[in-house]
């Protein structure tokens, strides 16, 4: 018996204006990916490809660890796009062979008067053929449990993104601003020494 779970999470993050606009920061997808999860959970596979090893999850009586390969890229306006390209489940081969995960997301900077609003959405969908041990469990209970689990995964990512992305951006912008000031001080002037 195949069953499908899904969850959607939206985010709106107000960003205080800095000397270097956040759209420049967002053009570096690797920094954004590093804000999604701990560095021990992220592996850079090359170009715009990343592997995310999620923390082990418990679904009913099973302990599973999803691993998702995803493509993350930036548009010229700083919009970040994300989509899964492969996935697997560690810990339970039966499920791994009968499992499909689709993840997509977008994070877009919307410039307002004195701030920028980062507006985004992530969609997560899982299709799985149930192992024999769960086939007698009521479908409504399975769906409620699975949807709740996916929602909690997206909520955890959202909370981490809201905290880590902003703190990293503010530190990055401050470094850029200090670098510009230092460069101006060190540049030779055209005025001859009298």
Q: How far is CA 86 from CA 50, 69, 100, in A?
A: 10, 5, 8
- Give the relative orientation of helices 29-36 and 166-186 as an angle to the nearest 10 degrees: 140
CA pair distance 74, 29, nearest whole angstrom: 6
Cα Rg of the chain, angstroms: 21
Tens of pLDDT, residue by residue over 163-172, are 899 999 999 9
Residue 189 in tokens: 């002037």
Tens of pLDDT, residue by residue over 128-166, are 887 787 778 888 888 898 899 899 989 988 999 888 999
Question: In the beta sheet, which residues pair with residue 44?
Answer: 50
Q: How far is CA 102 from CA 46, 112, 125, 142, 150, in A?
A: 21, 32, 5, 19, 12
User: Which pairing describes strands 57-59 and 80-90: parallel, antiparallel, or unpaired?
Assistant: unpaired
- The answer to whether 87 touches 100, Cβ cutoff 8 Å, is yes
pLDDT for the residue 1? 76
pLDDT, mean over the chain: 86
**Domains annotated on the chain, with CATH:** 2-182 (3.30.530.20)
Q: Is the pTM of this model over 0.85?
A: no
- Give pLDDT < 50 ranges for the chain: 181-187, 193-194
Strand, coil or helix: 162: helix
pLDDT for the residue 182? 46
Query: Of 94, 115, 86, 105, nearest to 158 (Cα)?
Result: 105
């Amino acid at each position: 018996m195949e069953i499908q779970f899904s969850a959607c999470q939206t985010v709106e993050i107000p960003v205080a204006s800095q000397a270097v606009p956040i759209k420049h920061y967002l053009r570096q997808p690797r920094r954004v990916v590093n804000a999604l999860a701990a560095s021990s959970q992220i592996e850079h596979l090359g170009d715009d490809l990343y592997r995310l090893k999620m923390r082990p999850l418990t679904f009913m009586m099973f302990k599973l660890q999803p691993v998702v390969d995803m493509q993350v890229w930036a548009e010229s306006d700083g919009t970040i796009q994300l989509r899964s390209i492969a996935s697997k489940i560690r810990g339970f081969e039966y499920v791994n062979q009968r499992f499909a995960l689709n993840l997509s997301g977008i994070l877009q900077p919307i410039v307002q008067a004195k701030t920028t609003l980062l507006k985004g959405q992530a969609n997560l969908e899982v299709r799985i053929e149930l192992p024999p041990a769960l086939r007698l469990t009521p479908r409504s209970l399975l769906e409620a449990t699975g949807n709740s689990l996916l929602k909690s995964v997206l909520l955890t990512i959202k909370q981490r993104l809201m905290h880590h992305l902003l703190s990293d951006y503010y530190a990055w912008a401050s470094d850029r601003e200090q670098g510009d000031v230092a460069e101006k001080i060190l540049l030779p002037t055209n005025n001859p020494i009298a």
